[in-house]
Amino acid sequence: MKKALFSIFLLISGMPYAQRPVDIHGFLNVKGTGLFDQYGKKIALHGVSYGWHNFWPRFYNQSSVAWLAGDWHVSVVRAAIGAEPRDGYINAPKKSLKAAEAIINGAIKSGIYVIVDWHSHNINIDSATQFFTFIAKKYHHYPNIIYEIFNEPDYESWEEVKQYAEKIVTVIRKYDPKNLILVGCPHWDQDIMQPADDPLKNVTNVMYTVHFYAATHKEYLRKRCDSALAKGLPIFISESAGMEASGDGNLDYPEWLTWIRWADNRNISWVVWSVSDKDETCSMLKKSAGSNGGWNDNELKESGVYTKRLLKKY
């Protein structure tokens, strides 16, 4: 009877036990340019990012995470916690933490990894310190947690971003000595050559983020990444998609697939933007899609259908 009840619980939780990524891999570690699990196996994560929590809060719930884990086969989700805009963390911290914890707790329950993303284009050192102190103190003992400390620096210099990153890494490491930290780079995570020439010093378990939108960012950005990798810089693609960098326009399927193959050949993790229902190409869901998952293909937009297809093979 106990065995039967346990089997029912596993089905409800979203994924069979043997296939739950965190149960298999545990804590993640960076060695050289690679990401490894706690047993020394090289791995890459593949998943989706939620849209800004303050614009699409209805999707920020544990049920949607369970659906993505079980039906789309994601190994990671990204909680994009907006900092500055209306109802963002800076003016609505309690509401923002509630949204973050819904995705974090959903990921823990479903046995997948979760990127806790400070979704900002600007340096807000005091608010970011407060946010990551709360997350690290509460969740440091879970191997599911990945910290993304600066979504997309826009016009800040690498020197400014580096100084900020050093401070926030120190804040996190005060409470969490183990889990992976992702660091952004200037011009919307395009100038990866700058941290490659001047990486953070005396830090552990850190990777650097690149973002691509396939209809805009093509071979030139992959060459930048290859140059950074050759210099020993570990890369994580924490946001990507197949359309233009504006988030709109037509999908460039050949270029998107070229990016996926490029990343897979180098064992680089990638995350697709976004779980939202905005009237733009990059939002994966139609207005008719329910808040809690259970989406059929008729409720997915073109990007959602293709993203799901890409993920299912993993």
SS3 235: strand
DSSP 8-state secondary structure symbol assigned to residue 32: T
Question: Catalytic residue at 239?
Answer: yes
Q: Report the C-alpha gap between 278 and 50 in whole angstroms.
A: 12
152 is catalytic: yes
| Residues 6+ away with beta carbon under 8 Å from 213 | 240, 241, 242, 243, 244, 245, 246, 247, 282
Q: How many helices (H) and strands (E) does the chain have?
A: 11, 10
CA gap 213, 251 in Å, rounded: 9
User: Collapsing DSSP states into helix, strand and coil, what is residue 192?
Assistant: coil
Options 101, 148, 156, 239, the catalytic residue: 239
| CA triple 242-243-244, angle to 5 deg | 135
β-strands 181-183, 206-213: how paired?
A: parallel
Backbone angles phi, psi at 169, to 5 degrees: -60, -40
**Selected catalytic residue, list 101, 152, 156, 244:** 152
Catalytic residue numbers read 152, 239
